[in-house]
Amino acid sequence: MRNCIHCGTDISERHYHAKQCFECHRSWGEATGAKHAWAAVCSAIRRGVLPKAADCSCIDCSKPAQCYDHRDYNQPLAVEPVCFSCNHLRGPAVLVRPFTPAKA
């Protein structure tokens, strides 16, 4: 039996890579500010304020960038272009507020 890392609910029926139940997964982006920050970056790219990440190079390793990395979700447009491996190595961003699961 596998359990959600946030609320402890049984997640045996989910994909073997899943670490959260559906409810915690859905509420994570809204509760931490990640969804708002992602939407702000997408809007800035559409308006031409930010270039597409694919048009930049990774600031850590100089390979082609694949995404933007947030270090702090309180500043949604303070992003840096990075490749996926460097983004993973950087770890999680500072959250708008700590995540607490929706379930009790």
Could you report the per-residue pLDDT of 76-89, keeping only the tens digit for each? 999 999 999 999 99
What is the pLDDT averaged over residues 51-69? 96
What is the pLDDT averaged over residues 48-53? 96
Can you say how many angstroms the Cα of residue 72 is from the centroid of all Cα atoms in its chain? 11
More confident residue, 72 or 82: 82
8 A C-beta contact, residue 41 and residue 68:
yes
Q: What is the mean pLDDT of the chain?
A: 87
Task: Transcribe 18-67 into DSSP letters.
Answer: --S-HHHHHHHHHHHSHHHHHHHHHHHHHHTSS--GGGSB-TTT-SBP-E
- Domain residue ranges in the chain: 51-90
Residue 81 DSSP symbol: E
Spatial CB neighbours of 61, under 8 Å, sequence gap ≥ 6:
83, 85, 86
Element holding 88 (H helix, E strand): helix 84-90
What is the pLDDT averaged over residues 1-27? 86
- What is the rounded distance in angstroms from the CA atom of residue 3 to the CA atom of residue 51? 40
